[in-house]
């Protein structure tokens, strides 16, 4: 596998007239950790902002806050990054003895610190029924979490959903389908109801089939969940595939609530009349 890949993401909003833009928050900087080293990065915004400030939010995400001074009929945000990507085993960890077997036993002091990642948004009969279906699973924690992700993938059919927001757990379970963000939020609520701290992850899914041309590489915005396991740290679970998140999952933002992970948020004095985005990934010569 070529270790270097060039990523390109461009989002464009068009307005029916020149409008004033309010402050925007951009979460488009890959985390670059583990098997994914960020070796190059640029962020371009048009129109040129009056102010662009990088900072780290409360959850450790690199965030750019952008302030505009001039009116514009179009907003374009372009991210380019170079990733040194190597294969990794997502299960290359050793859990602490107290959480190795299921049900996992968390230190009360730790659960107090992780309280925001244990908050269940809403209990419902449908969610409780699903919890009852999966409780009798494997005896080890790793195998049980794999069992949960697999059962959720079987229960919820993946669909592309362009409408904003995230479905409630009841909506996703009732219709039996949802986007990656809907399934990720449902998995998070299931894990929390089982006593496992979990958070929402927004990022990219990188896939490469071994060809040297650009048709062999794909990049897509994606969402998944991470569970906190003492001894391992935050471990990714992807309910869309039913598997543990591996090297192709490239995080942009992590938070207890999806609202804090959106790649681009901001205000304008009018809604855009249309918007478009393009994402590409290209292998580079090593």
What CATH number corresponds to the domain at position 245? 3.10.620.30
Q: Are residues 177 and 215 in the same domain?
A: yes
Print pLDDT tens along the chain (286 aa).
558 999 999 999 999 999 999 999 999 999 887 788 999 999 999 999 999 999 999 999 999 999 999 999 999 999 999 999 887 889 999 999 999 999 999 999 999 999 999 999 877 889 999 999 998 899 999 999 999 999 999 999 999 887 788 999 999 999 999 999 999 999 999 999 999 999 999 999 998 876 555 567 899 999 999 999 999 999 999 999 999 998 889 999 999 999 999 999 999 999 999 999 999 999 988 6
Q: Are residues 255 and 275 in the same domain?
A: no
Q: Are residues 245 and 277 in the same domain?
A: no
Query: Comparing C-alpha atoms, which of 161, 136, 160, 134 is closest to residue 149?
Result: 134
pLDDT at 210: 62
Q: Are residues 82 and 101 in the same domain?
A: no
Query: Comparing C-alpha atoms, which of 192, 190, 200, 260 is closest to residue 224?
Result: 200
pLDDT at 151: 96
Which long-range contacts does 243-246 make (Cβ < 8 Å, 24+ apart)? 243/146, 243/149, 244/90, 244/91, 244/145, 244/146, 244/149, 245/90, 245/201, 246/87, 246/88, 246/90
Q: Are residues 268 and 240 in the same domain?
A: no
In degrees, rounded to 5, the angle at the alpha carbon of residue 66 between the alpha carbons of residues 267 and 5 is 110
Q: Are residues 251 and 276 in the same domain?
A: no
Q: Are residues 173 and 243 in the same domain?
A: yes
> Domain of 176?
97-260
Q: Are residues 103 and 82 in the same domain?
A: no
Eight-state DSSP code of residue 101: B
pLDDT at 211: 55
Distance CA 134, CA 126 (A): 13
Q: Are residues 115 and 218 in the same domain?
A: yes
Distance CA 127, CA 186 (A): 9
Structural domain count of the chain: 2
92 domain-assigned:
no
Q: Are residues 136 and 181 in the same domain?
A: yes
pTM comes to 0.94
Query: Comparing C-alpha atoms, which of 198, 160, 154, 151 is closest to residue 182?
Result: 160
91 domain-assigned:
no
């Amino acid at each position: 596998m070529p270790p270097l890949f060039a990523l390109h993401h461009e989002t464009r909003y068009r307005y029916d007239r020149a409008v004033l833009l309010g402050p925007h928050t951009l979460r488009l900087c890959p985390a670059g950790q583990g098997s994914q080293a960020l070796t190059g990065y640029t962020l371009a915004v048009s129109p040129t902002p009056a102010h662009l400030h990088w900072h780290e939010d409360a959850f450790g995400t690199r965030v750019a806050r952008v302030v505009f001074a001039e009116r514009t009929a179009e907003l374009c945000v372009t991210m380019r990054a170079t990733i040194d990507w190597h294969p990794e085993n997502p299960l290359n960890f050793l859990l602490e003895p107290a959480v190795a077997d299921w049900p996992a036993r968390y230190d009360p002091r730790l659960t107090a610190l992780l309280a925001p990642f244990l908050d269940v948004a809403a209990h419902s009969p449908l969610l409780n029924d699903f919890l009852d279906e999966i409780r009798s699973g494997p005896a080890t924690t790793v195998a049980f979490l794999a069992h949960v992700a697999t059962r959720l993938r079987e229960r919820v059919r993946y669909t592309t959903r362009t409408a904003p927001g995230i479905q409630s757990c009841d909506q996703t379970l009732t219709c039996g389908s949802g986007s990656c963000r809907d399934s990720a939020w449902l998995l998070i609520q299931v894990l929390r109801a089982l006593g496992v701290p979990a958070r929402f992850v927004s990022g990219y899914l990188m896939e490469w089939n071994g060809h040297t041309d650009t048709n062999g590489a794909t990049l897509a915005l994606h969402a998944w969940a991470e569970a906190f396991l003492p001894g391992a740290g935050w471990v990714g679970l992807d309910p869309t595939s039913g598997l543990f998140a591996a090297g192709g999952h490239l995080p942009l933002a992590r938070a207890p609530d999806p609202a804090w992970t959106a790649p681009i948020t901001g205000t304008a004095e009018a809604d855009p009349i249309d918007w478009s985005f393009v994402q590409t990934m290209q292998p580079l010569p090593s």
